[in-house]
Amino acid sequence: MRLTKISAMAFAALIAGAGVATADESAELSIEGKTIPTRAEAPAYLENIDEVISGWVYRSDETQTLQADDFDNPAFVFVDTGADLFAEADGSAGKSCKDCHENVEDFAGLTTTLPRVNEAGELETLTDLVNECRTERMGAEPWKYSGTQMTAVTALIGLQSRGMPVNVAVDGPAAPFWEKGKELYYTRVGQLDLACANCHEDNYGNMIRADRLSQGQINGFPTYRLKNAKLNSVHGRFKGCMTNVRATPYKEGSDEFEALELYVASRGNGLAIETPSVRN
Amino acid sequence: MKHALYGLVVIAATATVAMAAETAPTDVKFEDGAVGASLGPAGDAANGRKVFANRKLGNCLACHVNSDLAEQPFHGEVGPPLDGVADRWSEAELRGIVVNAKNLFEGTIMPAFYISEGYNRPLKDFAGTPVLTAQEVEDVVAYLMTLKEQ
């Protein structure tokens, strides 16, 4: 134990020496004068966690600050593109989203409940809903899952729920999807043989090489990443984490990733929507 | 291009030579989480130090603080600091931990570095192969044996 203590100090010195920007885990997120809670009591079905915490909490001061001001937040360039796309007619029906949804503000609250099970008994995500409008009502081609158009428009729609608590259904018709997502969350995969839970449940708050691990919450998606300077989708992130452990990822939009999305969303029930968030 | 190919041939040739005397991942014998016998090649601590830090090889720094590598930024905190680790564990135990730490630490997050099966959905390029070669494991073990504080 003595050794551990000395090493921990050495570690602190290393961090300082390397000039790593440490996260201020007690910082409060306030955007445009409005406080957005970044912590909430964990839902009862989370057996190993008492508090759910936004990924914002674990980012560096600089990254935290970028998200705290819509003018500085680089994601808003894409949200503006989303607004243009929203009003742009496309497809054989010659319609835009706006022709049916006059005020995008009316979508306030929508993303707090997604993914959800529809009347046909299928699990649907925001991406599914957008593409359904495009193919069924506009006569247009579906957008690519993580393409610029899809992430821009889902960011615009998600923004309308900013500050509202995530509240996805986990029981009733959602239960089998939720169970499947839970199983995926705890299943080790890849040559490195790791599950989501190994990093995001057992080790949040700890550094893993240059990154501080968060709980892997999705309340801020689509998220702008400084690493690739664009909006990143939920399934794109899942894919990245699986590839990092040298696992063959599931396909974006697959049943597996949609179930996992529901389960991960439910791990953030009670947290405020932060779309569009900023991450490294 | 010509040079790159040449390099590959050399590596392949060395690998074949080394492999003759190597214990395959599926043949490693454990006793109480430890592996007494060398996997074959003699360990080179200096190279082990490189393997330890290399993100594509051991990437041990992802999870462990190690003051001996203070020149490298970003040491993780997922596992215990490894300063003085050779005072706490024998060579056989350290080899066991690197080959497959799950035999000593049940349910550990630490990946097994010398197994070729038993994991799900590996990326194609990594299917059926261990993270490290027998040589690299021996190099890392030799390096860990230098981490003494007493």
Distance CA A31, CA B68 (A): 43
pLDDT of residue A33: 87
Instruction: Check CB contact under 8 Å for A190 and B126.
Output: yes
Task: Report ipTM for this prediction.
Answer: 0.90
**Pick from B61, B65, B112: CB nearest A7:** B65
CB-based contact (8 Å) between A194 and chain B? yes
What average pLDDT does the structure give for chain A?
92
Nearest-by-Cβ selection for A10 from B62, B65, B88: B65
Is the pLDDT higher at A8 or at A108? A108
Contact assignment for A7 to B111 by CB distance below 8 Å? no
Q: Is the pLDDT of residue B101 over 50?
A: yes
Q: Which token pair is A280?
A: 């490294």
Of 1.10.760.10, 1.10.3290.10, 3.40.50.170, 2.30.31.20, which CATH number belongs to B24-144? 1.10.760.10
Note the pLDDT of residue A23.
67
A241 is catalytic: yes
Which sequence spans correspond to the domains of chain B?
A: 24-144
Where residue A94 falls (left for φ over 0; alpha for ψ -120 to 50; beta otherwise) is left
How far is the C-alpha of B115 from the C-alpha of A159, rounded, in Å?
46
Nearest-angstrom CA–CA distance, A111 and A104: 13
Eight-state DSSP code of residue A136: I
Q: Rounded distance, CA B94 to CA B138, Å?
A: 10
Angstroms from A204 CA to nearest CA on chain B: 9
The vertex-B22 CA angle with B18 and B25, nearest 5°, equals 130
Answer for the pair B40, B21: CB distance below 8 angstroms, yes or no: yes
For A19, which residue in chain B has the nearest alpha carbon?
A: B73
State pLDDT tens for residues A17-36. 333 456 677 889 999 889 99
Interface test with B, best of A48, A192, A239, A250 (most B CBs within 10 A): A192
Measure the CA–CA gap between A241 and A219, rounded to whole angstroms: 17
The pLDDT tens digits for A175-218 are 999 999 999 999 999 999 999 999 999 999 999 999 999 999 99
Nearest to B65 by CA among B50, B52, B47: B52
Q: What is the mean pLDDT of residues A156-163?
A: 98
**A225: helix, coil or strand?**
strand
Nearest CA in chain B to A239: B123
Q: What is the mean pLDDT of residues A46-72?
A: 95
To the nearest whole angstrom, how far is the Cα of A277 from the nearest Cα of chain B?
A: 25
Looking at domain A51-280, its CATH superfamily turns out to be Cytochrome c-like domain (1.10.760.10)
Q: Which residue has the higher pLDDT, B66 or B4?
A: B66
Long-range contacts of A87-96 (CB under 8 A, 24+ apart): A90/A134, A90/A138, A90/A140, A91/A134, A91/A138, A91/A139, A91/A140, A91/A141, A92/A138, A92/A139, A92/A140, A93/A137, A93/A138, A93/A139, A93/A140, A95/A137, A95/A138, A96/A138
Task: Kindly report the nearest CA distance between residue B132 and chain A, in angstroms.
Answer: 11
Contact A265, A48 (CB under 8 A): no
The DSSP symbol for B23 reads P
Note whether B14 and B6 are within 8 A (CB): no
Say which residues have a Cβ less than 8 Å from residue A109's Cβ, sequence separation at least 6: A160, A161, A164
What average pLDDT does range A79-86 have in this prediction?
97
Residue pair A126/A134 in contact (Cβ under 8 Å)? The answer is no
User: Does the pLDDT value for residue A4 go beyond 50?
Assistant: no
